[in-house]
Amino acid sequence: MDDDETFPAEGFDEVGFDGDLLEEELRQAAAVLDPVPPELRRIAMGAYALHDLDAEIAELTFDSLVDALPVRGVPQAPRMLTFRAGELTVDVEVTEEGLIGQVLPPQPARIEVLGGPQTALPVAVDTLGRFTSGRTPTGPFALRLRTGGAVVVTEWLRA
């Protein structure tokens, strides 16, 4: 073998080599020997569906677990979160009953609670920007807001 050759010349016929056929045979072998679990495929498809190229990220500016002083006599105070993206503020209270929040300044919006492999849960927003979700997120969650032509997604947090 020469110093500049990657493969030895004998036994390698470039003319008869079909890279597409080899790739297809390798895909078939992988599908039989090491298939992608259906749950993982569903999670991957869900993650891609959450992909918003034009979404603005709302930064977490307040988290009562980190920023608030503990209140004496209140063993399980609800978690309070504040997100900001430009002039838009989203206040969220995480309780055992679900999420309660408000979009400021008040404006028409559609909100979805994102929760990993689960489907996005749509939440209604009233004329004052208030919203409630009767389901407390289990595990990581984020909010996706659609206001006018803008899409804003909050940071992902654990409930």
**Three-state DSSP class for 38?**
helix
pLDDT band at 33 (very low <50, low <70, confident <90, very high): confident
Q: What is the pLDDT of residue 49?
A: 58
Quick one: what percent of the chain has pLDDT higher than 70?
Answer: 77
Average pLDDT over residues 22-37: 86
Give the confidence band of 2 by pLDDT, cuts at 50, 70, 90: low
Name the more confident of 108 and 77: 108
- pLDDT band at 19; cut points 50, 70, 90: confident
| Helices of type H across 6-91 | 19-33, 38-49, 64-67
Q: What is the pLDDT of residue 115?
A: 80
User: Would you say residue 9 has pLDDT above 60?
Assistant: no
Mean confidence (pLDDT) of the chain: 80
- For the cut 80, the answer to whether the pLDDT of residue 132 exceeds it is yes
pLDDT above 90 covers what percent of the chain?
22
Distance CA 137, CA 118 (A): 10
Q: Give the chain's count of helices (H) and strands (E).
A: 3, 10
CA distance 42 to 65: 32
Residue 81: predicted pLDDT: 94
pLDDT tens-digit series, residues 46-93 = 666 555 656 788 999 999 888 877 666 666 778 899 999 989 999 999
